[in-house]
Structure 1
Amino acid sequence: MKSIYLQSIALFLAVAIFFASCGSTTMIQSIPSDAKLYMNGEYMGNTPYTYRDTKVVGSSTLVKLEKEGYNPFNTSFSRDEELDVGALIGGVFLLVPFLWIMKYKPFRTYELQPAAEGFDTNYYSIPSGLDKAKADKLRELKKLLDEGVITKEEFDAEKKKILES
């Protein structure tokens, strides 16, 4: 009788740990704050925003931030950033929680870059008086800046050379 009671308690605790550990939460912040947040193409609200899901390990989420006067910021994050001890313990009892053994970092902050002069922040349209070849070079340069390959100072210097050529 006592053995069944202990097994029932162990099973109950395992199930409780399982359900508690399936979800993961991360706080998405931006500098400056109050940017529009899109996740997997769906508008979620403005930053700061608390995101929670029950996706399995390795699942990715696409993030897009937009704010007037700033370049759109695109990135992604995956549910493989930190070990979830609760899911690990639950997995020992039920095996299934191993699908949720990893979780998100608790916070993530993205810094938006001010829009380059002469660019439409939504569509990167060609400013009047600028030929297509220069516009294409500027778009490529802007992409390097957005990806962090070059600094803002390098961007400005190269932009000046392109516009003066």
Structure 2
Amino acid sequence: MLQKSLLIRTASILLAISVLFAGCASTTLIQSEPTGAKVYMNGEYKGVTPLSYSDTKIVGSVTYVTLEKEGYEPFQTYLSRNESADIGAIIGGFFLMVPFLWTMKYNPVHTYELRPIRNASVAKADQPVVLTDSNGNEYISCVLKD
């Protein structure tokens, strides 16, 4: 009987801990315009946009994000686990204190606009290209090959 009671207590504690830490996760959707950009987090490839990202990091944690797409400038930013309050974790913190480490979460969606690489055709040209600046002045650009 004592052994059965101990088993039930242990199972209850493990269940409570797993529910507590599962509730500490924060998820965000990373989008880009145009879609299909490669997403790197802290230098590690994670997939292409749109990408759902989730973690259980504590308040104030930072994740560095780089978006790359052919023909577009690389876009670098970061996600910080302090973008919006998590009411459930705040309420849980009053009872258990530990959830105060997860009282903040990510915004639900992050959308980033990628900029095309300027003069991308110049880099691929075999002959000089005439460029015009905002004042109407013309310049000749050429690509030097090794």
Q: TM-score, normalised by structure 1?
A: 0.64
Name which of 55, 80, 104 aligns with 1:78: 80
Structure 1 residue runs of 4+, over 4 Å off? 11-17
How far apart are the structure 2 equivalents of 1:109 and 1:28?
6
**The structure with more strand, counted as a fraction of residues:** 2
Q: Which has the larger radius of gyration?
A: 2
In structure 2, what is the equivalent of residue 33 of structure 1? 35
How far apart are the structure 2 equivalents of 1:28 and 1:97?
25
SS at match of 2:78: strand
Q: Give the AA of the match of 2:100.
A: F
How far apart are the structure 2 equivalents of 1:66 and 1:108?
15
Identity %: 55
In structure 2, what is the equivalent of residue 102 of structure 1? 104
How far apart are the structure 1 equivalents of 2:51 and 2:102?
22
How far apart are the structure 2 equivalents of 1:105 and 1:59?
14
Size of the aligned set, in residue pairs, is 124
1:14 Cα shift? 7.2
In structure 2, what is the equivalent of residue 117 of structure 1? 119
**The structure with more helix, counted as a fraction of residues:** 1
1:17 Cα shift? 5.9
Superposition pairs of residues 3-152 of structure 1, within 5 angstroms: 18-118=20-120
SS at match of 1:99: helix
SS at match of 2:63: strand
Distance 1:16 1:39, change over 3 A: closer
Cα RMSD after superposing both structures: 3.2
Q: TM-score, normalised by structure 2?
A: 0.71
